């Protein structure tokens, strides 16, 4: 269809306006349109406008495509020139800084001769192989300032060859200890990743990657503090050999040295440097504690305003019990915790913490103990973060609720019971949601509901049992949280259930079977003392009310349609088989005396309308009783009364208006069947299904009884 320019521009302006609301626009359009044809034409106009917009957008992209390519090429050229310029400046700076070092050959020779021939000589050769200057070692004749300046100058020269690490030079007293080439491997599959160069400083380890296009230059990759780093020797397993692992929360990396000798050097120098760093920190802490002690004593002794009271007895000061923190396992505790966290040995980490708490129980909080506590608390925080990540929904949800037991139990041991409960329930909610989403929607609704109920209630039952196992003996508030979670999970189940059963307008019999299946599965939770039947009733009551109302309207419309075509004639079923089938159907409906209404051959002395009404009403009652629970009592009762009134009013009206004596007698016979047979059966079945009589049905039958109908009257008794 061709769209005019004015109409298209007006429609485009309307759609592009800032206050445009699609729902309001469609509502106004529906009110203004004359019929389906106008809506179809407007839809074609909108679709044509969308296609035109897409074409314009594509045309603009094609027009600017060449400019994008040229701009990207210019950026690439500029980047290459900047790399070349940076390289030239770095080489010139290195040359200028090496001139003063060349003027001091005697000092360098003295430093080399003063080192140990075995260990230090090997490290100097490693520095020489890497293409860097040897690390400075001061001569006895050198001043301390000159040694510090030499170390800083060497570190500066080395790190000039590493891009992106200028911030390292801001740390005072930092110098290079060792460096060398390494090859990094993937921790899981042992696949080679990249070539790297390691720079070991006195307080940290820097890892840099090679730049293939720029020889002798590196790019900053990672920086690890030595006090948070653990080194593990990897056993040779050809062809994987000469490897060692670095453990640091929350990751680990594996490196391979050139040969076994270099690997041994790396392991030794890493341990020596870490030991020296720990010793340095310990000396600084002791000096700080010693400096604080005399000051406090002097202040107390030199207080001229403090007088002794001879009248009051002096209370002897209780000497604080000293805590021995020089035990080897306590000294190594922070590093052991780092190793356990990096190796995911959560039980071992918590065991170490329990051992420390037992050792320090009832001990005084001296400064060394407080310092140790601060270090351990940092590891506890890291361990908690790892355990929280283990329980996060982002992790794999396979393995069921038992897969979370390890992390949950360790969090409970750490005193994080509330957090463990929250994370466990959040993890299980994500698992249940994922399991429901992964269910395939089959063509048969009942088959899908069977699968849905099996998946959901099995997961809920397993979660409840695992919860009871993990949180036994904990705060009872956790059980309240589980009940709240179970209600939320039931809401998720009912959403999926209602969308498939009620939103798709399934028949009442199918809906009744589906609800019955859900109730049976819900009753299985009673095995563990969890009754959620009232919750599923409360969540489904609105949908079931809608289904009953919808099916009631269908029956009423069908009955009215049959009433409009009623000729008040006997039924002729033509074959004995059809008559036998009808007798069986009426018997299943509860009408046991149907034989007295059958005539010779295949005739039935009842109207087709009354027989059809009887079967449809009893079928509605049977399916509704499967859906019944107390909240639906009045809804079901009112629906039955409305359905019965349609048939009663039709019979009463026909009886008053019919003039033919034979037809009038036939109508009275149908009315007798309806009042004296069908209505009592409905009352009896309702009372059996509900457990109590329905006064409204009794009143309806009594006011409509045939004997109260005056055949000569022209007024209705209904």
What's the pLDDT tens digit per position in 617-634? 988 888 888 888 888 888
Cβ neighbours for 5, distance < 8 A, ≥ 6 positions apart: none
pLDDT of amino acid 147: 56
Distance (Å, rounded) from C-alpha 510 to C-alpha 626?
A: 11
pLDDT of amino acid 80: 65
| Average pLDDT of span 551-574 | 86
205 phi/psi in degrees, rounded to 5: -125, 125
β-bridge mates for residue 185, sequence order: 192, 254
What's the pLDDT tens digit per position in 594-617? 878 787 778 888 888 888 998 889
Q: How many C-alpha atoms does 379 have within 13 Å on its Cβ side?
A: 27
Asked if pLDDT for residue 403 goes beyond 60, the answer is yes
Cβ neighbours for 257, distance < 8 A, ≥ 6 positions apart: 180, 182, 242, 243, 244, 263, 266
pLDDT of amino acid 257: 92
Residues above pLDDT 90, as percent of the chain: 3
Beta-strand relationship, 204-210 and 192-201: antiparallel
| Average pLDDT of span 485-513 | 86
Q: How many C-alpha atoms does 428 have within 13 Å on its Cβ side?
A: 31
Report the mean per-residue pLDDT for the chain. 77
SS3 state of residue 191: coil
What's the pLDDT tens digit per position in 674-687? 888 888 888 888 88
Burial of residue 278 (number of CB atoms within 10 Å: 0-12, 13-18, 19+): middle
Q: How many C-alpha atoms does 256 have within 13 Å on its Cβ side?
A: 19
Residues above pLDDT 70, as percent of the chain: 80
Contact 154, 202 (CB under 8 A): no
pLDDT of amino acid 250: 67
Asked if pLDDT for residue 182 goes beyond 90, the answer is yes
Asked if pLDDT for residue 453 goes beyond 50, the answer is yes
Q: Which stretch of 41-55, 60-74, 299-313, 369-383 has the lowest confidence by average pLDDT?
A: 299-313
Q: Which stretch of 5-9, 95-99, 318-322, 367-371 has the lowest confidence by average pLDDT?
A: 318-322
Please report which confidence band the pLDDT of residue 98 belongs to, taking 50, 70 and 90 as the band edges: low
| Average pLDDT of span 428-441 | 84
Contact 376, 370 (CB under 8 A): no
What's the pLDDT tens digit per position in 43-81? 888 888 888 888 888 878 767 776 777 777 678 667 767
Tokens standing for residue 682 = 């409905």
DSSP 20-76: --HHHHHHHHHHH--SHHHHHHHHHHHHHHHHHHHHHHHHHHHHHHHHHHHHHHHHH
Name which residue leads in pLDDT, 322 or 345. Answer: 345
Asked if pLDDT for residue 187 goes beyond 80, the answer is no
Asked if pLDDT for residue 523 goes beyond 80, the answer is yes
What's the pLDDT tens digit per position in 112-152? 344 444 444 444 444 444 434 334 333 333 444 545 666 66
pLDDT of amino acid 131: 39
């Amino acid at each position: 269809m061709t769209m005019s320019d004015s109409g298209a521009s007006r429609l485009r302006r309307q759609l592009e306006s800032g206050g445009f609301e699609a729902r309001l626009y469609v509502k106004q359009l529906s009110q203004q349109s004359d019929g389906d044809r106008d809506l179809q034409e407007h839809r074609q106009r909108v679709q044509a406008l969308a296609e035109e917009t897409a074409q314009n957008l594509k045309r603009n992209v094609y027009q600017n495509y060449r400019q994008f390519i040229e701009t990207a090429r210019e950026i690439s050229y500029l980047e290459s020139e900047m790399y070349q310029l940076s390289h030239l400046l770095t080489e010139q700076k290195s040359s200028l800084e090496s001139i003063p070092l060349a003027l001091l050959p005697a000092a360098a020779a003295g430093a080399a001769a003063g080192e140990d021939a075995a260990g230090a000589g090997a490290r100097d050769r490693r520095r020489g192989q890497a293409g860097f200057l040897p690390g400075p070692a001061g001569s006895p004749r050198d001043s301390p300032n000159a040694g510090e300046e030499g170390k800083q100058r060497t570190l500066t020269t080395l790190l000039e060859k590493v891009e992106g690490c200028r911030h390292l030079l801001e740390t005072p007293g930092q110098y290079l200890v060792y460096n060398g080439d390494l090859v990094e491997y993937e921790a899981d599959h042992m696949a080679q990743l990249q070539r790297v160069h390691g720079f070991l400083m006195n307080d940290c380890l820097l890892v840099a990657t090679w730049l293939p296009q720029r020889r002798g230059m590196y790019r900053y990759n990672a920086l690890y503090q030595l006090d948070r780093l653990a080194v593990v020797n990897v056993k040779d397993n050809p062809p994987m050999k000469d490897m060692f692992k670095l453990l640091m929360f929350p990751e680990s990396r594996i490196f391979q040295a050139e040969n076994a000798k270099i690997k041994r050097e790396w392991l030794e120098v890493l341990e020596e440097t870490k030991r020296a760093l720990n010793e340095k920190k310990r000396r600084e802490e002791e000096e700080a504690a010693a400096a604080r002690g005399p000051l406090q004593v002097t202040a107390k002794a030199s207080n001229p305003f403090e007088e002794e009271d001879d009248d009051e007895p002096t209370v002897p000061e209780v000497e604080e019990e000293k805590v021995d923190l020089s035990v080897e396992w306590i000294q190594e505790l922070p590093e052991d915790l780092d190793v356990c966290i990096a190796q995911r040995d959560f039980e071992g980490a918590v065991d170490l913490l329990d051992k420390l708490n037992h050792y320090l129980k009832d001990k005084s909080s001296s400064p060394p103990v407080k310092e140790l506590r601060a270090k351990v608390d940092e590891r506890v925080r890291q361990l908690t973060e790892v355990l929280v990540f283990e329980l996060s929904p982002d992790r794999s949800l396979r393995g069921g609720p038992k897969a979370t037991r390890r992390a949950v139990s360790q969090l409970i041991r750490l005193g994080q019971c509330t957090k463990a409960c929250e994370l466990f329930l959040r993890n299980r909610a994500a698992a249940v949601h994922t399991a429901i989403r992964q269910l395939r929607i089959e063509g048969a609704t009942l088959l899908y509901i069977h699968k849905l109920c099996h998946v959901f209630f099995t997961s809920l039952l397993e979660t409840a049992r695992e919860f009871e196992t993990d949180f036994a003996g904990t705060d009872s508030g956790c059980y309240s949280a589980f009940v709240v979670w179970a209600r939320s999970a039931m809401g998720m189940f009912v959403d999926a259930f209602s969308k498939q059963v009620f939103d798709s307008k399934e028949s009442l019999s199918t809906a009744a079977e589906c609800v019955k299946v859900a109730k049976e599965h819900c009753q299985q939770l009673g095995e563990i003392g969890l009754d959620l039947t009232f919750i599923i009733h409360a969540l489904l009551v609105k949908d079931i009310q809608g289904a009953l109302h919808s099916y009631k309207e269908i029956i009423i419309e069908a009955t009215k349609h049959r009433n409009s075509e009623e000729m008040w004639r006997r039924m002729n079923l033509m074959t004995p088989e059809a008559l036998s089938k009808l007798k069986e159907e009426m018997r299943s409906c509860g009408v046991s005396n149907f034989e007295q209404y059958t005539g010779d051959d295949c005739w039935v002395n009842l109207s087709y309308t009354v027989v059809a009404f009887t079967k449809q009403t009893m079928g509605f009652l049977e399916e509704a009783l499967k859906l019944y629970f107390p909240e639906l009592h009045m809804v079901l009762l009112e629906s039955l009364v409305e359905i019965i009134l349609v048939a009663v009013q039709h019979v009463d009206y026909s009886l008053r208006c019919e003039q033919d004596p034979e037809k009038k007698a036939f109508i009275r016979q149908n009315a007798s069947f309806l009042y004296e047979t069908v209505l009592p059966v409905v009352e009896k079945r309702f009372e059996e299904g509900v457990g109590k009589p329905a006064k409204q049905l009794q009143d309806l039958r009594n006011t409509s009884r045939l004997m109260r109908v005056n055949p000569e009257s022209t007024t209705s008794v209904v």
